[in-house]
């Protein structure tokens, strides 16, 4: 298995292109609980992450009816990326004040996490993000209301 870095510039270019619309290759989950993690997953895939087709516990998207929960679900995505030892993206938790472009910030309400954002820039210590469900590009994290954030540093991805 080979580890490699994702291309953050490609992730951000994808986020810029699709932040205020939807790529027709992917289902729009806004009416099914939100599209935020689907969008973040698409950005990571555009940056070079390889899908993990492990049934039930992987990270992949083929269609609305053939996808992993981690591709579209906030908590599932966090669990997958933070624990992944196989193919696909992997990461670790870092303090939000250490956020960098390409990281994923998830917003929590004290009992769980409910929204995923892609960090596209950091200016004067403030992460700026791109997101779906509530479309955003270059939006400061400080403009969101949340009880707790977690920042997942995407360390890279693995492929066979």
Q: What is the pLDDT of residues 122-141, one digit of tens each?
A: 999 999 999 999 999 999 99
Characterize 89-101 residue by residue with b for buried, 16 or more Cβ atoms within 10 angstroms of its Cβ, and e for exposed: bbbeeeebeebee
Percentage helix, strand, coil for the chain under 3-state DSSP, each rounded to 5: 30, 35, 35
CB contact at 8 A, 84 and 77: no
Q: Tell me the pLDDT tens digit for each residue of 83-110.
A: 999 999 999 999 999 999 999 999 999 9
- Environment class of 21 (CB within 10 Å of its CB; exposed 0-12, middle 13-18, buried 19+): exposed
CATH fold of 2-159 reads endopeptidase fold (from Nostoc punctiforme) (3.90.1720)
pLDDT, mean of each 10-residue run, the chain (160 residues): 97 98 98 96 98 96 97 98 98 98 98 98 98 98 98 97
């Amino acid at each position: 298995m080979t580890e490699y870095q994702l291309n953050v510039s490609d992730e951000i270019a994808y986020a810029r292109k699709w932040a205020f619309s939807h790529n027709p290759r992917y289902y729009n989950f806004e009416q099914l609980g939100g599209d935020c993690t689907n969008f973040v997953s698409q950005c990571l895939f555009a940056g070079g992450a390889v899908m993990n087709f492990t049934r039930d516990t992987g990270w992949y998207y083929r269609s609305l009816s053939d996808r992993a929960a981690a591709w579209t679900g906030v908590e599932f995505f966090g669990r997958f990326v933070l624990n992944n030892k196989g193919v696909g993206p992997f990461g670790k938790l870092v303090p939000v004040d250490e956020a960098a472009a390409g990281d994923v910030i998830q917003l929590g309400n004290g009992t769980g996490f409910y929204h995923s954002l892609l960090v596209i820039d950091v200016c004067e210590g403030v992460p700026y993000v791109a997101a779906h469900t509530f479309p955003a590009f270059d939006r400061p994290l400080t403009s969101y209301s949340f009880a707790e954030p977690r920042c997942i540093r995407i360390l890279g991805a693995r492929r066979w």
